[in-house]
Structure formats: C-alpha cells, structure tokens
C-alpha cells in the first residue's frame, strides 16, 4: 500500500503565484518523520524540511511554508510568490520509528512544478 500519496502529478503556475503541493501519508506508528525533498532539473535531491510526529507547528522559511495536520494525515507545502527557479520535482517522504528497513524513506511519486515567467 502506498504510504505517501502526492495526488498532484504536475502543476503549472505563472511566476509570483502561490502554489500548494499536497502530501497525504499513512502510518500506524506513533513516532514518525516527514520530509520534503526538491529535485531540480539537474537531478540531485535537496533536503528542504523535516517534521516529527510530535511537532504540529507550522514552519515558514522565506517563501516556503509547511502545514502539518495529524488529524488529516497531511503535510502540505506552500510556495509563496513562486519563481522560475522553483521549477522542480518535489517529493514528500515518510520515515517510521518501527520501520523494518532501517528508517528508509517511503517516497511519494512526486509533484512536478513548472513556474513560467
């Protein structure tokens, strides 16, 4: 069963628009960790944020913000005033404390974001 669902396959916005990338997860663990990674066209994976299951505080980092809601098992990512450099594939991932695979990440399928001028 898919543990992390990113329902949006592709999103296209015009520069300066706000955009929200959705992430829904599934786990039976009480202790788990959620991550967002960015994969620009150059192909590397860039860590953006980590959130643990006990910390539901939202976080803002510049134009990026994250909304973690345990009640809906969601960890959404919003880019405010998008820029062309934000064009990338964004992955949401889950790590579980009781994982039988050494804290390996369960990745969603990714959302491809295209920001046009």
- Contact residues toward other proteins (CB under 8 A) are 4, 9, 31-33, 35, 37, 43-45, 47, 50, 52, 91, 95-97, 99, 101-105, 107-110
The 3-state secondary structure of 23-65 reads CEECCCCCCEEEEEEEECCCCCCEEEEEEECCCCCCEEECCEE
- Give the residue with the Cβ less far from other proteins, 52 or 72: 52
- Give the residue with the Cβ less far from other proteins, 52 or 83: 52
CA 46 to chain centre: 12
Please name the residues in contact with 31: beta carbons below 8 A apart, sequence gap of 6 or more. Answer: 52, 53, 54, 96, 97, 98
- Give the residue with the Cβ less far from other proteins, 104 or 114: 104
Q: How far is the CB of 81 from other proteins (least distance, A)?
A: 26
Q: How far is the CB of 16 from other proteins (least distance, A)?
A: 28
Token pair, residue 25, equals: 């997860």
What is the DSSP pairing of strand 88-96 with strand 106-107?
antiparallel
Q: How far is the CB of 99 from other proteins (least distance, A)?
A: 7
- Give the residue with the Cβ less far from other proteins, 15 or 33: 33
Q: How far is the CB of 73 from other proteins (least distance, A)?
A: 17
């Amino acid at each position: 069963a898919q543990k992390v669902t990113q329902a949006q396959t592709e999103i296209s916005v015009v520069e300066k628009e706000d955009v929200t990338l959705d992430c829904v997860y599934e786990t039976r663990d009480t202790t788990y960790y959620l991550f967002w990674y960015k994969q620009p066209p150059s192909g590397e994976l860039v860590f953006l944020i980590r959130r643990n299951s006990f910390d539901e505080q939202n976080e803002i980092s510049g134009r990026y913000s994250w909304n973690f809601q345990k009640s809906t098992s969601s960890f959404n990512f919003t880019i405010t005033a998008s820029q062309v450099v934000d064009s990338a594939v964004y992955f949401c991932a889950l790590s579980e404390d009781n994982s039988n695979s050494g804290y390996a990440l369960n990745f969603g399928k990714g959302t491809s974001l295209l920001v046009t001028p």
